[in-house]
Amino acid sequence: MPVATQAAIKGLTAQQVESLGVTLILNNTYHLNLRPGLEVLNEAGGAHKFQGWNKNLLTVRVPATRAQYIDDEDFSQDSGGFQLVSLSKFTTITEEGALFASPFTGEPTMLTPEESIRIQHTIGADIIMQLDDVVSSLITGPRVEEAMHRSVRWLDRCITQHESSGKADTQNLFAIVQGGLDPQLRDKCLEEMISRKDRVAGYAIGGLSGGEEKESKPFRYLLAHCAEKLPEDRPRYSMGIGFAEALGVDMADCVFPTRTARFGVALTHNGPLNLKLSKHAKDFRPIDETCPCPTCTSKMSRALINHTITHETSAAHALTLHNIVFQAQVMGRAREAIINGTFPDYLRSFFNQYFGDVGYPEWCVNALRTVGVDLLEGKESIPVVPGNAAKWEYADSSTL
């Protein structure tokens, strides 16, 4: 789902996003509670009306002991999950809840499980998240187990508040599985969360986007392991990770398409295009002749985007429209392949077209083998590249 942290996807109106076929976006509870505040949202009739969004809305919070990305354009925007610059200096965790100090004013706020649910009820999101105690996945030791058990206790308090409010029929509460990179703690948390299945609408897999190496075995194993154990009749949401669907996850949020667009990069099925490079300055083709997005169907050229991307915000907006549609196409085709029983073939085709002969990322190959998909089947000559192996266009002497 596209990320609209503060009730807006940068550069686009709600109507533009809806016209792309998007039916679910993400808002951030923490930021909307700070600005514009619940009084404004309540007077507006909830976040849907406040931002003019007619489709589904999911709310998350920036976890108390995790990190907040500071965008070079504007603090705290365009990100819904777990990012880079620590907010822990603003936060104290107790059994009662998370005591925040506003990063804007320094004013303290105690966010309890009950209050987090009340805030999300006011926001009016269709999917709401429990308050959880989440620590960096790079942390080990007793703090991880403490956070996992507290997240279970806080879930019970969230459920009680949600059910007593009369909102359970109109807003869907998700539990969040914690436990760091410890399989035993994850299993304990899964057991507790699944025992409450009849009182939650879905599950999120949390705590796996805080700096751990994506090619690491624990990371890919735990994603697939949690997804496999969670009930099949409940949605499974991987928080803050936009590439987990192939490991058994149904939902994910990702800032990659929108943030990448602002860096001048168009996502295509043949790999990303860095349209800031001068080699595109005389390329009058659209980004993708077959793409149905407004940018491509209007025949806006790569040359025009190259000319305007560092000077005019319209170029970033055009790329944002394209990249969101690209992401929707990738997911829509994946869904269709799953329904048709051809998902492994779809993955092999996608990787072959996207990466070509430059090599597949090793972590992708290994992760998909975890769920029985061998990307190299019939493609043994394709090199496997360590690290993230991003297929990226960089500036060099031939493209400057």
126, 253, 283, 357: the active-site residue: 253
Contact, 134 vs 148, CB < 8 A? no
Residue 78 among the catalytic residues: yes
Contact, 224 vs 149, CB < 8 A? no
As a dihedral over the C-alpha atoms of residue 77, residue 78, residue 84, residue 87, rounded to 10 degrees, the angle is 40
Rounded CA-CA distance 45/131 in Å is 23
Q: Outline where 278-378 has alpha helix (H).
A: 294-297, 302-308, 313-340, 343-355, 362-370
For residue 111, the one-letter residue type is L
Distances (CA, A) of 350 to 198, 252, 271, 360: 37, 19, 10, 11
Helix (H, G, I), strand (E, B) or coil at 391: coil
DSSP symbol at 57:
E
Sequence-distant (≥ 6) Cβ neighbours of residue 247 within 8 angstroms:
220, 223, 224, 227, 367, 368, 370, 371
Rounded CA-CA distance 260/51 in Å is 23
175 Rama class: left (phi>0) / alpha (psi -120 to 50) / beta: beta
78, 132, 133, 288: the active-site residue: 78
Contact, 319 vs 327, CB < 8 A? no
Contact, 268 vs 353, CB < 8 A? no
Residue 132 among the catalytic residues: no
Catalytic site positions: 78, 253
